Amino acid sequence: MSPQLPQPQQQTRRPLAYLQKAVNKQVAVRLKSEIEYRGKMSNVDPYMNVILVDAEESENGTKVANYGKVVIRGNNVLYVRIEDRL
Amino acid sequence: MSPQLPQPQQQTRRPLAYLQKAVNKQVAVRLKSEIEYRGKMSNVDPYMNVILVDAEESENGTKVANYGKVVIRGNNVLYVRIEDRL
Amino acid sequence: MSPQLPQPQQQTRRPLAYLQKAVNKQVAVRLKSEIEYRGKMSNVDPYMNVILVDAEESENGTKVANYGKVVIRGNNVLYVRIEDRL
Amino acid sequence: MSPQLPQPQQQTRRPLAYLQKAVNKQVAVRLKSEIEYRGKMSNVDPYMNVILVDAEESENGTKVANYGKVVIRGNNVLYVRIEDRL
Amino acid sequence: MSPQLPQPQQQTRRPLAYLQKAVNKQVAVRLKSEIEYRGKMSNVDPYMNVILVDAEESENGTKVANYGKVVIRGNNVLYVRIEDRL
Amino acid sequence: MSPQLPQPQQQTRRPLAYLQKAVNKQVAVRLKSEIEYRGKMSNVDPYMNVILVDAEESENGTKVANYGKVVIRGNNVLYVRIEDRL
Amino acid sequence: MSPQLPQPQQQTRRPLAYLQKAVNKQVAVRLKSEIEYRGKMSNVDPYMNVILVDAEESENGTKVANYGKVVIRGNNVLYVRIEDRL
């Protein structure tokens, strides 16, 4: 599935390349605060700036808002959780 | 399915290029604090410095002020939400 | 009024060039804390270091001090609001 | 066990090379907050961005959630503890 | 009115060059906390590291200490106020 | 004891070279929070990322945990105290 | 006393060169928190990483500990006060 040269161990892919592979998948982006955004990660860059579409904002597990298209600035990100299969 | 070379899927545009495409659209800029600014994004740069015109400041959902022209320093930005159609 | 080459859409000027164009105008510089400085922006650089002259400091909307000449370090800036016409 | 050239003193390996050697081992990633993630470190980069699989989140020692695949942004990391033998 | 080429208006000098011109003047250095140092700025660099001599420390307007020679690390600086004429 | 070229004043060694010389010595790493880790510094790099082995974590002077091998991210470090003779 | 080339105005020395000249002098290093370390500055680098020997830690003016040799990471430094004559 990968366009790069063969890699004997797929799991040794670097974190940012791994995120790039998750483009168009469903993800959850947790921020340093207790806020979390879930949606389709329509793109991401090496700074971890993320475009989410059909995003849902939740705080402490409670859904608080829906957004069509949001660009999250990477320095606020605590982690990106990939919810779909890669 | 390869993200490199030809990009038949517009949604794989990178976050900063995506923001650039939203110039002159209506956006909401949420800061790390609970403050939010809405207005026309008259321009943006790769650091996410944003020029808003006819900006409205709100805090916890309550409108608190109106500004003609404001340049927000990018490092304060949590996300930019695009409210118009791209 | 601009010395540069013609730009079909004035509003697509980048944020830092836009600030540079506001030199010698009246501005308000809001900091990450609740403090705000208003005065003539005698100059600004790409890091958003700002020189204000005849500056007035206010906190939560109340004027607290006057300063002749002050150089604000850019990393403290939340936004620069341009109060004069450009 | 090392694929690099012989190093007379294994213990003088630099921190980031040492982490790289721990790929596919069981680790605990402690964040600046009291949160900790344990799982298999499927990869890591020099910024300490970490991919964890089968990750378990705990706060103050109490397990709070399980995640399949999570990419932690390196700037949030306090330390990485290697639990398997290298 | 062009800011480039000849500069008939001294006030268009850039912030860091402006600070450099204030060397050997009396200044007040306000930090991000409520602390302020006043003294002769014996030198300054582009990161806003500042050498103050005969420095007086005050907190919330109350003088708390005197220092002969102190080098303030620039990243702590909120602003430098120039008290002497330039 | 130094493998480098002769240096007339040993004490003028730069901080990062000094730390490098302390590899394999017993150290205490104090973090910005009140947490401290003591152990053998098996390596360190110029960003002050540190590998500690047989590490002991203490908070406000009370021992709270033991870790076999831990890699501390340098930006969390307040200081490294060298407890062995160099 | 300076080994460098003649400088017409000693006081125009830049902050980092000034600190370098204070090597082997008695200094006080104040951190962003209320903690202060005093000792002989055995070396310093341009990031303001400092080696102190025979260091004394005090908090709010009260001595709390003594350390033989400590390397303080520069980003924690608020200022370095030079207590000896240069």
For residue G16, give both structure tokens. 């980092």
Amino acid at D27: V
Better pLDDT: C18 or F61: C18
Residue B11 has pLDDT above 90, yes or no: no
D2-41 confidence digits (pLDDT tens): 334 333 344 457 999 999 999 999 999 999 988 999 999 9
Tell me the nearest-neighbour CA distance from C43 into chain E, angstroms. Answer: 5
pLDDT band at F12 (very low <50, low <70, confident <90, very high): low
pLDDT, residue F11, reads: 45
Q: Is the dihedral of CA G8, G11, G15, G16 positive or negative?
A: positive
Percent of chain F clearing pLDDT 90 (strictly above): 72
d(CA D68, CA D39): 9
Q: CB-CB: which of C1, C45, C71 is closest to E1?
A: C1
pLDDT band of residue F4 (cuts 50, 70, 90) is very low
pLDDT of B7 = 38
How much is the ipTM here? 0.86
Binding partners of C (≥3 Cβ pairs within 8 A):
B, E
pLDDT at C35: 92
Distance from the Cα of G12 to chain E's closest Cα (Å) equals 6
Q: Which amino acid is at F31?
A: L
Domain ranges in chain G are 18-82
Nearest CB among C20, C33, C73 relative to E48 is that of C73
In whole angstroms, give the CA distance from residue C67 to residue C52: 9
- Is G81 an 8 Å CB contact of chain E? yes
Q: Which of C45-54, F54-63, F69-78 has the lowest mean pLDDT?
A: F54-63
CATH topology classification for G18-82: SH3 type barrels. (2.30.30)
Is G45 part of the contact surface with chain E (CB cutoff 8 Å)? no
Residue B11: alpha-carbon gap to chain centroid: 17
Nearest chain F Cα distance for residue D41, angstroms = 14
Q: How far is B52 from chain A (nearest CA, A)?
A: 16
pLDDT tens sequence across A15-68: 999 999 999 999 999 999 889 999 999 999 999 999 999 999 999 889 999 999
Name residue A60's beta-bridge partners.
Answer: none
Tell me which chain B residue has its CA closest to the CA of residue C49.
Answer: B73
Asked if A64 has any chain B CB less than 8 Å from its own CB, the reply is no
Cβ proximity of D37 and D52 under 8 Å? yes
Tens of pLDDT, residue by residue over F24-52, are 999 999 999 889 999 999 999 999 999 99
Are B48 and A73 in contact (CB < 8 Å)?
Answer: yes
pTM: 0.86
Which of F57, B61, G82 has its CA nearest to residue E42? G82
Tell if the CB–CB gap between D79 and F68 is shorter than 8 Å.
Answer: no
Q: Spell out the long-range contacts of E5-9 with Cβ–Cβ below 8 A and sequence spacing 24 or more.
A: E9/C24
Other beta carbons less than 10 A from residue G52's beta carbon: 27
CB contact F51 to G (< 8 Å): no
Mean pLDDT lowest among E69-73, F34-38, G7-11:
G7-11
Give CA–CA dist F3/F6, Å, rounded. 9
Nearest to G73 among F12, F18, F77 (CB): F77
Q: How far apart are CA A39 and CA A51, in angstroms?
A: 9
Q: What is the pLDDT of residue D11?
A: 45
What's the pLDDT band for A86 if we cut at 50, 70, 90?
A: low
Nearest to C71 among E4, E9, E19 (CB): E19
Minimal C-alpha gap between F3 and chain G (Å): 19
CA D20, CA D33: separation in Å to the nearest integer? Answer: 24
Helix (H, G, I), strand (E, B) or coil at G69: strand
CATH classification code of D17-82: 2.30.30.100
Instruction: Examine the pLDDT at C49 and tell me if it is beyond 70.
Output: yes
CATH architecture label of A21-82: Roll (2.30)
Contacts of G44 in chain F (CB under 8 A): 15
User: Quick check: D71 and A15 in contact, CB under 8 A?
Assistant: yes
CATH number of E23-82: 2.30.30.100
Mind listing the pLDDT tens digit for each residue in D37-66?
A: 999 999 999 999 999 999 999 998 899 999
Percent of chain C with pLDDT over 70: 84
| Cβ neighbours of G53 (radius 10 Å) | 16
Query: What pLDDT, on the 0 to 100 scale, is given for residue B36?
Result: 95
Instruction: Please give the average per-residue pLDDT across G23-36, as a whole number.
Output: 94
**Percentages of chain A per state (helix, strand, coil), in multiples of 5:** 15, 50, 35
| Position with higher pLDDT, D80 vs B60 | D80
Multiple choice CATH, B15-82, 3.40.50.700, 3.40.50.1000, 2.30.30.100, 2.20.25.650: 2.30.30.100
H or E element, residue B70: strand B62-72
